[in-house]
Amino acid sequence: MAGSRRRRQLKRQRERQQAAAAAAPAPAPVRLFNFHCFPPELLAEIHHRLAFLERLAFASVCGESGQLLRETPWLILPAENADRARVFSVADGESATVRTSDVAMRGPVAIGSSGGWLVTADDRGALRMTNPATGAHADLPAITTVPFIEPKPGGHWFCLDVRFGGQPPPPPAPGHSYDYPTARTFTVTAAQMRQVFYRKVVLSESPRPDSYAAMLIMERCIGAPAFATAEDGPDPSWRMARSPDAVEDAIHHDGRFLSITYTGRVEAWQRDAETGEFTSEEVAPRLAYEDMHLRRKYIAASMDGRLIAVLKHAGDFKSDDDHPYSRARGTRTRVSFKVQILDRVKGRWEEAADIGDTALFVGVNGSMCLSTREHQGIRPGCVYFTDDEVGAACLREANCQLRSYSYGEADDIELRDVGVYNLKAGSVETIRALGKHQLWPPPAWFTPSFL
């Protein structure tokens, strides 16, 4: 009896709640603000006053309404769990761990960053573009569309039959061996593609999965770049292009790809609308530089459109704190940078010890030159850098040597870590707020974008 009475009471209670809900007035519709009506200066001021994660949410709403708010570059770093990543805001000096729902962000290595999009390579050699801020992602053309790459059964191996020919690998340092394959035909595992084949992928400005152009820069022993565009239709492929001097770095600027070769030639690339093929022409005097300790050359564009060459040097030197317990008997690898700017009037490159109120960001990203007045929180006259020697990082990871050192071997943490090089002082400064972090996969710069 008691159970039946309780059920009747509950039934009458539900009926009263349903009747009350039916009689209540309908809720007022949510009114969405149209940010088009707000002046950009007001949006920028609101944006500046928010905490860095709140800025992302605010910028995403503004992006949906057509307003683009500039963000200072962020770092994306590995987290302890594979399904998460750590993002660090240079401007705020703050970081947060975020869930990576995108498969392109779980485990793969970043080998490119342009226009707010990352390009990643997984352990099966697949390339994807992904937007860390929005979660949007898309596959780039299969690497097997490169004419000289033949997949082996199972997809775990690739046979590379190199016909284009690039520059020979640089001579090995004393006591070291080649990291490059020397034969023209060789077989590698899919995971080794990141070690011996991929150098960097540069995307066009403001890329989208259905509207992009991509330039694949391969390691020095390959030499020639490959291009792919969304204009190629539903089944795009990588098209090889000739560059006898081997492309070392590239950016997308003013509607076209610009590259610098291992010999210092600067080339501009154009796509033939009929054939889809890319060809280049030399657009600047050859860069003059010293080879001593030269590690990498980058190309960038200044705020006023002038071409910039950034030269990264790394050499082993005796440390000031030389003592018996030093990891490598006091020997450390020191990193330094030199900057040259093209003077088109004089027709030559000129070294610049001071780059004024600008800062440079180099790494696996498309090299950037930013105004420190428009992007608060970054230091003027500095080069922000990350480890972009992905092949060497892959080799260290395979050998479980991320933080181990052999007795008598140089401490190269400055080369492998994130740093800020002060051009005037000639020294590397750390980003203290970044704290300790993992070095695999190597960190990458990216600029959050919601458009």
Q: Give me the percent of the chain exceeding a pLDDT of 90.
A: 29
* pLDDT the model gives residue 319: 63
Q: Is it true that the peptide bond before 172 is cis, omega within 30 degrees of 0?
A: no
- Decide yes or no: CATH 1.10.10 for domain 70-165+181-446: no
* pLDDT the model gives residue 423: 95
Per the CB < 8 A criterion, the answer to whether 85 and 100 are in contact is yes
Pick from 143-152, 174-183, 271-280, 389-398: least confident: 174-183
Q: Categorize the per-residue pLDDT at 324 as very low, low, confident or very high, splitting at 50, 70 and 90.
A: very low
- What number is the average pLDDT over the span 22-34? 55
SS3 assignment, position 43? helix
CA nearest to 163, candidates 222, 248, 243: 222
pLDDT tens digit sequence for 346-355 = 999 999 989 9
- Tell me the residue type at 143: I
Model confidence at 1: pLDDT above 50: yes
Q: Is 15 exposed, middle or buried (CB count within 10 Å of its CB: 0-12, 13-18, 19+)?
A: exposed
SS3 assignment, position 135? coil
With a CB cutoff of 8 Å and minimum separation 6, the contacts of 417 are: 387, 430, 439
Pick from 16-20, 44-48, 245-249, 377-381: least confident: 44-48
Which two three-digit tokens encode residue 414?
A: 């400055």
Highest mean pLDDT pick, 110-114, 259-263, 432-436: 259-263
* pLDDT the model gives residue 33: 53
Domain boundaries in the chain?
A: 35-69, 70-165+181-446
* pLDDT the model gives residue 201: 95
Which H/E stretch holds residue 298? strand 294-301
pLDDT tens digit sequence for 119-169 = 998 888 899 998 877 778 889 999 999 888 888 777 677 787 655 444 444
pTM for the full predicted model: 0.78
Model confidence at 281: pLDDT above 80: yes
